[in-house]
Structure 1
């Protein structure tokens, strides 16, 4: 169950970085709403990381959480913020995904 909590926390990390990107391109009330989304997503993400790390190895939990955030944020950048999708960028995103799966595979089970 804590792996699921950790994955959800990583997805909220993608949420708070996406909110930052959207706030950067917004103005007025819309910008402030994106910042509110950032704060909420940040709080939820950190709370879920804290919960998951109570029973998962901290180093592994943090690496997986950060990896999910990094991969998700890079993909959001490509799909929604028109960032380049060059071969090497996709290659290294793929290596991050493989590394996250590897860390989960070699970690002690609950």
Structure 2
């Protein structure tokens, strides 16, 4: 269960990172609300995951999932350019996250 919550909290990291980009100097209220809610859910999920998963592994997985999802979303919406090199590098992050899951042991 800790892994599922950690993965979901990593996805919420991507939500708050994207919302943060849209805040526009604290002038747009809805992105601020989305940012605060998503960040809270993300942090609570990370904290929950760390109860059963070692801190280094949990944090690396959380950041990896958040970074991967943020880049994928940016590429899908056209906010960031797509290239073979970027895709291969993002797949490297995914591989590392999967590897950490495979070799991790409960705390």
Q: Which residue pairs with 2:12 in the alignment? A: 12
Q: Per-residue displacement from partner, 1:36-88 (whole Å, max 9, x unpaired)?
A: 10011001100110011011111000000000001001111101243111111
Q: Which runs of 5+ in 1 are unaligned?
A: none
Q: Which runs of 5+ in 2 are unaligned?
A: none
For 2:51, what is the secondary structure of its paired residue?
coil
Q: Which residue pairs with 2:88 in the alignment? A: 91
State how many pairs are aligned. Answer: 107
Give the alignment partner of residue 71 of structure 1, picking from 68, 72, 86.
68
1:81/1:39 CA distance change after superposition, 3 Å: farther
Aligned-partner Cα distance in 2 for 1:94–1:74: 11
How do 1:27-106 and structure 2 match up within 5 A?
A: 31-106=28-103
RMSD of aligned Cα (Å): 1.9
Aligned-partner Cα distance in 2 for 1:109–1:59: 12
> Normalization by structure 2: what TM-score?
0.91
